[in-house]
Amino acid sequence: MRTENIAVVIYGLPGSGKGTQASLAAHAYGLVNFDTGHHLESLWYDPKRQKDPLIKRERKLFEEGKLNTPSFVLAEVSKAVRAIAKKGLGVVFSGSPRTMYEAERLIPLLVSLYKKKGVFFFFLDVTQKDAIERNSKRRLCAICKAPLLAKYYPSTKPKFCPVCAGPLYKRTLDDKTIIPKRVKEYNERTAPILKYLKKLGYRINKVDGRPEPFKVFQLLKKPVNNGLR
Ligand SMILES: [Zn+2]
């Protein structure tokens, strides 16, 4: 498989299709699709770290539904990203680094590991209305976590995952009452990161997020392929 030594960072509103694009990029360029949430969960239950007081403290926060300590998250993500780069692999992030605190520390690390020309930033452009509508209809597979692209699926009442036939579920995160909060959080916390990146002279590739995901991906590949040439 082709493996490129690059970092791809994809931003956009919740429901803009970041996760799908990240997984397409991971396949096409042989990148590690880094999910901070999954990574942290794997730490809470890592048998080698169960005696670590930091892990105990942070796992408790997580289990109580509270936010983890930013410095802890940053240190763990940085460690994981260094390990990925050390293996000669590239990485793709969707929606993270999520806060200015993380961005100010993680972006320079990515640039030092992959060089400025090896780090690609994207913004998936969809309207707030699209984002809310897509999110409220979103179903995921409980087994393989594949998202169901209901709009392109020949059933009005889909029950089974098209990948593994597992049961579909709706995340509490995608509840009608929670989505506006996520959009607000995005506008307040993540949007300033794009401004910060522009100020530092990074190019943000704005991509229309409305077409079918495979078409969006054609658009996303262009700047990456040009940069690799
Ligand atoms: Zn599945």
Q: What is the pLDDT of residues 99-156, one digit of tens each?
A: 899 999 999 999 999 999 999 999 999 998 888 888 888 888 999 888 888 778 877 7
* Total-model pTM: 0.89
Q: Is the pLDDT of residue 216 over 90?
A: yes
Ligand 1 centroid from CA 50, angstroms: 30
Supply φ then ψ for residue 129, to 5 degrees.
-65, -45
Ligand 1 centroid from CA 143, angstroms: 5
Indicate the domain borders of the chain.
7-127+191-228
Quick: pLDDT tens for 168-211.
988 877 777 887 888 888 888 888 999 999 999 999 999 999 99
Quick: pLDDT tens for 47-99.
999 999 999 999 998 888 788 898 999 999 999 999 999 999 999 999 889 88
Separation in Å, CA 158 to CA 9, 150, 174: 31, 7, 17
Measured between alpha carbons, how far is 184 from 181 in angstroms, rounded to an integer?
5
Token pair 């990029």: residue: 25
What is 7-127+191-228's CATH number, 3.40.50.300, 3.40.50.2020, 3.40.228.10, 3.20.20.70?
Answer: 3.40.50.300
Ligand 1 centroid from CA 192, angstroms: 35
